[in-house]
Amino acid sequence: MSEARPAGELERLARRVAQLERLVARAAGGRAPAGEAGESRPVSWLALPAGEEAARALLADLGDWVERVWAEWPDADLPSCWAFHPWVVEELLVARQAWAAAFEGRAASPTRAADWVTRVRPAVAERIGKHIGTCALIHHMDPPRPPEAPLKRHLDQVASHWATHGTPLTPSSTQLAEANHYDRQPYRRI
């Protein structure tokens, strides 16, 4: 059971949430909140169009929420490297936004809260637990994930062959070598 927060801390959190909302609105191209009952548009970590300030504020808010809410659940184990996995940040950000829609603001309702508790939260916890495995921060010492999709530089050839022949392209030796190198990287699925 968590302790009651002092009034000063609640005011600080309210100011921080308001600042975060402004940054998120700016990141979303200045769009005002949309949807019914004042819901905000979802924000994606993977497609965050904002600058460094908005990214920092968003991740700091997420970290606070993970500590305050997410970590209270028995299946909410996160490895030390959770923030180094963009997809985990995205999963938690979606869970955080769904939680806010369920528990805060005019659109909050017992039905939304029950949905978050029984469907959203367990599904996110299961995906993170299943796919992050035994990863730890030390595993991120390898070279970073390639900055582009695997074999992206060959996609024009693949598309051209498909469009002209109606069949998949037979891989070249260069493509096979690049794929082999990519497939053997320890970080490729992390």
| Polymer length of the chain | 190
Lowest mean pLDDT among 38-52, 134-148, 170-184: 134-148
3-state secondary structure of 183: helix
pLDDT tier, 71 (very low <50, low <70, confident <90, very high otherwise): very high
CA angle at 101 for the pair 96 and 104, rounded to the nearest 5°: 100
Could you tell me the two tokens for 151?
């074999």
Element housing 27 (H / E): helix 7-27
Q: How far, in whole angstroms, is CA 147 from its chain's centroid?
A: 17
Cα 121 to Cα 114: distance, rounded to the nearest angstrom? 10
Q: Is the pLDDT of residue 165 over 50?
A: yes
User: Any idea which residue has 């909302």 for tokens?
Assistant: 21
106-160 confidence digits (pLDDT tens): 889 999 999 999 999 999 999 999 988 778 777 777 555 555 677 788 888 888 8
pLDDT tier, 30 (very low <50, low <70, confident <90, very high otherwise): very low
Pick from 65, 61, 64, 66: nearest CA to 21: 61
Cα 98 to Cα 90: distance, rounded to the nearest angstrom? 12
Cβ proximity of 76 and 125 under 8 Å? yes
Q: What is the DSSP letter of 166?
A: S
Tell me what pLDDT residue 1 has: 43
